[in-house]
Amino acid sequence: MANAVQDFLQIIRVTFEPGYLTPRSLLVSGAALALLIRLVFKRPRPRYISNLDKVGRRVSSNTTARDEKWQYDIIIVGGGTSGCTLASRLSEDPNIRVLLLEAGGSGRALSDSRTPIGYGALFFSKYVYPFRTEPQAAANGKEKFWPRAKMLGGCSSINAQMAQYGAPGDFDQWASYAGDKSWAWSNFFRYFTKFEKFNPHPDYPLVDATVRGNSGPVNVGYFNTVTSASKAFVKACVEVNIPFTHDFNGPNGTLGVSRTVTYVDKKYRRVSSETAYLTPEVLARKNLTVAVNATVTRVLFETSEAGVPRAVGVEFANSDGSPRYQVRAKKEVIISGGAIHSPHILSLSGIGPAAHLQKHGIQVIKDLSGVGQNLVDHPVVDMYFKDKLNNSAKYLRPKSFLDRVKLTSAIVQYHILRIGGPLAMNFGESAAFIRSDDPHIFPSQIFPEKLLDSTSAKDSPDLELFCTPFAYKEHGRVFFDVDTFALHVYLLRPTSTGAVLLKSSNPWQLPSVNPNYLSTEEDVKKLVRGVRLCLQIARTKPLAPLLDHEFTRADLDHELHLKSDAELEALIRERVETVYHPTTTCRMGPNPENGDVVDSRLRVYGVEGLRVCDASIFPFIVSGHTAGACYAIAEKLADDMKAEYGSA
Ligand SMILES: Cc1cc2nc3c(=O)[nH]c(=O)nc-3n(C[C@H](O)[C@H](O)[C@H](O)COP(=O)(O)OP(=O)(O)OC[C@H]3O[C@@H](n4cnc5c(N)ncnc54)[C@H](O)[C@@H]3O)c2cc1C
């Protein structure tokens, strides 16, 4: 580009020398200026295909799906967190021809996706599947909003960007359940470091960067903006005996309180699986095709030589009523539609509980009782407080002239000065991971009841607390009219489980989702402990001066600490919401008769040529945030498959 600038200056110099100011010279300099602008602002164009005629065979056409043109070695269904990772890694082998089919479009240039604070604005847009749960019997019968992303990057394009990966014990538990040591933390850990590029920060010198990944495609670090209230939250947690930790993802496990590392890069932009893995260099590979606006409606099967159903391709379309297309997979189909869509796609394809499929008139290819079962999600309860210093980021939804001035300043800082500022906040800036049976935090004199231990190991947590720089309701649809601050607690290891079920055999009708929140007493009791702890934290020295505890308006929680356990339980049942982490609906495990859907190499039981790779395969939900494990399982599967195909 330096050359281009020099060339341009030379042209201008020459052009404006006396005697050179002619219409022609003006034309030349105009063209040079246009060229310079193009050079400066030119962004490499991603190579995504939205014309599906270029990807597959129209079902109505008279060509055959066996044409070489419509055949790929591996077809990946869903370009989400795991899907983009797989597509990128598998296509590193030039001998593997990969097709990635994604229902949505690109999130790369979508400002609300790339700006750390923007994701809430996408929840009620075309980029998100607008799920609502079934009425939650144990949560006052309410139907809860459940956003799942519909775009490349999947939920990594709309999530809160908190990079905590779970506890080491979680993966040891996976390994022991699946009967495969390769999932144990001591082995699986390397896939977290494979996807990660950890950016150390001088303010956090005690984080051991040598145990973090330093050359993966996914940038994680400290580039998000952190509010002073969030820093006070960390100190307040220490006051109630939660130990400070330097690194949630380090060798000492995940217990403790700290600032969260985030999936935000040094230009203050969200890092998604699309931006990290589908780089222009990757997209330039001849053996990788990425099709967007391509919703897969079913997997196609034939009978193998061994008389077993074999996945040989998929059918897909742009929308209901638009032409349908088919493509063939010479080697395998991998479903990466996420915890809701993967069991849905399997069910539509005839793989699931036989009676349920037959009820919807779907021909059974393989009776697998676990498809869609064991749905588990992290339920969260929010608490709202008045911000005493009137310093919150309420102005992001401006109501007054002053709000607009502040918002304009934030936009200038982020988009023009490029120094981050308030728009680089990710909301979940600090967090604490604790055990509900920790006697230092919950002394037995005050909390005598022994609750069921649902953690994965002695040093794994079952509660997470975090704060946000302002309060909201209904996933950001409703804001308060005063400056606020919020504390949140969620269950990391709930014992309540539910299911994803078909509503019909129409692939365009979203399935029913029912997490059965709070259907066990244990879950409610642990949340009561968590709420009590948050209310205590709000009144500790570091936080109390920031919160206006005299502001006892009914819609805020300054008097909640005075309530009985029964009253808190009622509040929890009223307020519980998703923290967006559904898993386990195509569980990895040893026994299909017991509800397991894939084996430890993620192959679907009872059929050939079909795998699942995304949050649905988690045998147990991790005690933390779920995106990291989705990256890591895809990194592992890509390595395993390349080894199987002799190309590792
Ligand atoms: C609002 C929100 C906040 C979150 N915050 C965090 C956080 O801070 N930290 C964290 O670690 N985790 C967070 N999570 C959870 C985490 O992002 C997800 O668990 C993870 O990204 C899921 O990855 P996946 O590969 O299983 O599915 P996804 O990433 O959801 O990918 C599924 C993809 O499949 C596509 N698809 C679906 N059906 C079809 C079809 N029929 N045909 C073709 N394509 C299809 C979808 O469009 C999507 O792109 C959050 C999630 C949400 C929604």
Question: Nearest Cα to 109, choosing from 256, 272, 324, 253?
Answer: 272
Q: Check pocket membership of 160 for ligand 1, CB cut-off 6 A.
A: yes
Q: How confident is the model at residue 69 (pLDDT cuts 50, 70, 90)?
A: confident
What is residue 5's predicted lDDT score, i.e. its pLDDT? 40
Is 210 assigned a ligand-binding role in the annotation?
Answer: no
Residue 80 CA, closest ligand 1 atom number: 31
Cα angle 82-170-425, degrees, rounded to a multiple of 5: 60
Is 64 assigned a ligand-binding role in the annotation?
Answer: no
Q: What is the pLDDT of residues 500-540, one digit of tens each?
A: 999 999 999 999 999 999 999 999 999 999 999 999 999 99
Q: What does the DSSP 8-state code read for residue 416?
A: I
Same fold, 58-198+271-373+583-648 and 226-260+379-391+430-491+519-575: no
Active site residues: 581, 625
CA of 342 to the centre of ligand 1 (A): 11
Q: How confident is the model at residue 64 (pLDDT cuts 50, 70, 90)?
A: low
Q: Check pocket membership of 100 for ligand 1, CB cut-off 6 A.
A: no
Name the closest-CA residue to atom 14, ligand 1: 159
CA of 278 to the centre of ligand 1 (A): 16
Provide the residue type at 362 as one letter: I
Mean model confidence pLDDT for the chain: 93
Question: Nearest Cα to 71, choosing from 327, 407, 251?
Answer: 327
- Tell whether pTM > 0.80: yes
Provide the residue type at 399 as one letter: K
Q: Check pocket membership of 82 for ligand 1, CB cut-off 6 A.
A: yes
Q: How confident is the model at residue 39 (pLDDT cuts 50, 70, 90)?
A: very low
Q: How confident is the model at residue 61 (pLDDT cuts 50, 70, 90)?
A: confident
Residue 31 confidence (pLDDT) above 80: no
Q: How confident is the model at residue 169 (pLDDT cuts 50, 70, 90)?
A: very high
Indicate the helix (H) or strand (E) that contains 529: helix 521-537
Q: Check pocket membership of 625 for ligand 1, CB cut-off 6 A.
A: yes
Strands (E), 477-600: 478-479, 484-491, 499-501, 512-514, 577-578
Residue 616 CA, closest ligand 1 atom number: 26
Q: Check pocket membership of 293 for ligand 1, CB cut-off 6 A.
A: no
Name the closest-CA residue to atom 21, ligand 1: 155
CA of 243 to the centre of ligand 1 (A): 31
Q: Check pocket membership of 240 for ligand 1, CB cut-off 6 A.
A: no
Query: pLDDT over 70 for what percent of the chain?
Result: 92
Provide the residue type at 147 as one letter: P
Indicate the helix (H) or strand (E) that contains 111: helix 111-114
Rounded Cα gap, residues 173 and 184, in angstroms: 7
- CATH for 226-260+379-391+430-491+519-575 is 3.30.410.40
Q: Check pocket membership of 635 for ligand 1, CB cut-off 6 A.
A: no
Ranges of each domain in the chain: 2-41, 58-198+271-373+583-648, 226-260+379-391+430-491+519-575, 393-426
Q: Check pocket membership of 347 for ligand 1, CB cut-off 6 A.
A: no
Cα-atom radius of gyration of the chain, to the nearest Å? 26
Q: What is the pLDDT of residues 420-476, one digit of tens each?
A: 999 999 999 999 999 999 999 999 999 999 999 999 999 999 999 999 999 999 999
Residue 582 CA, closest ligand 1 atom number: 19
Q: Check pocket membership of 614 for ligand 1, CB cut-off 6 A.
A: yes
Is 77 assigned a ligand-binding role in the annotation?
Answer: no
Name the closest-CA residue to atom 20, ligand 1: 627
Query: pLDDT over 90 for what percent of the chain?
Result: 88
Question: Alpha carbon 212 to chain centroid distance?
Answer: 20
CA of 337 to the centre of ligand 1 (A): 8
Question: Alpha carbon 52 to chain centroid distance?
Answer: 27
Q: What does the DSSP 8-state code read for residue 134?
A: P
Q: Check pocket membership of 161 for ligand 1, CB cut-off 6 A.
A: yes
**Mutation pick for ligand 1 pocket among 626, 631, 633, 637 (CB with most ligand atoms within 8 Å):** 626
Q: Could you give the ipTM of this predicted complex?
A: 1.00
Question: Nearest Cα to 351, choosing from 335, 375, 339, 368?
Answer: 368
**Mutation pick for ligand 1 pocket among 155, 327, 602 (CB with most ligand atoms within 8 Å):** 155
CA of 501 to the centre of ligand 1 (A): 19
CA of 127 to the centre of ligand 1 (A): 12
Instruction: Indicate the class that CATH gives domain 58-198+271-373+583-648.
Output: alpha beta
Residue that has been written with the tokens 């008389």 in this structure: 307
HEC sequence for 377-398: CCEEEEEEEEECCCCCCHHHCC
CA of 448 to the centre of ligand 1 (A): 39
